[in-house]
Amino acid sequence: MARNLNPKCKQCRRTGQKLFLKGDRCSTPKCAMVKRNFPPGVHGSNGYPRLTDYGKQLMEKQKAKKIYHLLETQFKNYFQKASKSKGNTEGVLLAFLEMRLDNVVFRLGFAPSRDLARQLISHKHFLVNNKGLNIPSYNVKIGDIISLKEKSKKLKIFANLKEKLAKLEPITWLSLNPDKLEAKVVDKPKLEEIKGEFDPKLVVEFYSK
């Protein structure tokens, strides 16, 4: 499967924002956005240039692609699907992206990054409605139950997971049970829950031209 192999820290520096592509490292002083908060390249130390309206729209689209680890064709397909659906295009697009299984596993705290979440799903460590699923792009639905496979709970990578989950900030559209290491999708994500990661309005404007 094709994927973006560009250095993760450079991707954050290019957008001028932490995209949390390296999991826990992004919350430490070692983060590139702390040590070198300017664009990569020989002219990067001059700071971030002023952007035109088109440049801002393009930057938000690129940012969203990097956050959810999608290629252009994949991302554009989500937009086209959202634009043909009923309701606000921004909200529908956000729901499609947020309800991907790899993103849900990341949001729940089962993995520190979407990259690792995707890998863990591909290795069949998670169940959806008690059935093994190895498709990271699978879109969960309201009522779906996501859980960690019983055998996988003994692995080192999931050590102290219950304690970590108990400290997480709750997500309104996901109901998490830290003791059972499972969660239920109870609603669709809302626009305000994106917490400024990117502006879906500018993404819609970019593709609507």
Q: For 9-67, how does the pLDDT look when each residue is reduced to its tens digit (9 = 90+)?
A: 666 666 666 666 666 666 666 666 566 665 666 556 666 678 899 988 998 999 899 88
Q: What is the pLDDT, as a whole number, of residue 6?
A: 65
For residue 150, which phi and psi values (nearest 5 degrees)? -55, -45
Q: Which two tokens stand for residue 203?
A: 């993404």
Task: Answer yes or no: is pLDDT of 79 > 50.
Answer: yes
Q: List pLDDT tens digits, range 133-170.
A: 999 999 999 999 999 999 999 999 998 899 889 888 88
Write the Ramachandran bin of 188: left for phi over 0, alpha for psi from -120 to 50, otherwise beta.
beta
pTM over 0.95: no
How many whole angstroms separate alpha carbon 145 and alpha carbon 82? 24
In this structure, which long-range contacts are made by residues 142-146, counting pairs with CB atoms below 8 Å and at least 24 apart in sequence?
A: 142/185, 142/186, 142/187, 142/188, 143/184, 143/185, 144/184, 144/185, 145/182, 145/183, 145/184, 145/185, 146/101, 146/104, 146/105, 146/108, 146/182, 146/183, 146/184, 146/185
Q: pLDDT tier at 5 (50, 70, 90 boundaries)?
A: low
Which residues partner with 139 through β-bridges? 100
Q: What is the pLDDT, as a whole number, of residue 1?
A: 46
Mean pLDDT value across the chain: 85
The contacts of residue 69 (CB under 8 Å, 6+ apart) are 3, 4, 102, 114, 115, 118
Q: pLDDT tier at 193 (50, 70, 90 boundaries)?
A: confident
What is the Cα Rg of the chain in Å?
Answer: 18
Domains defined for the chain, CATH in brackets: 8-95+199-207 (1.10.1050.10), 100-185 (3.10.290.10)
Residues 177-203 have a mean pLDDT of: 88
Among the residues of 87-139, which ranges form H helices?
Answer: 89-98, 101-108, 114-122
Q: Which of 103-107, 124-128, 193-197 has the lowest mean pLDDT?
A: 193-197
Q: What is the pLDDT, as a whole number, of residue 87?
A: 86
Q: pLDDT tier at 198 (50, 70, 90 boundaries)?
A: confident
Percent of the chain whose predicted confidence (pLDDT) is above 90: 56
How many whole angstroms separate alpha carbon 41 and alpha carbon 72? 23
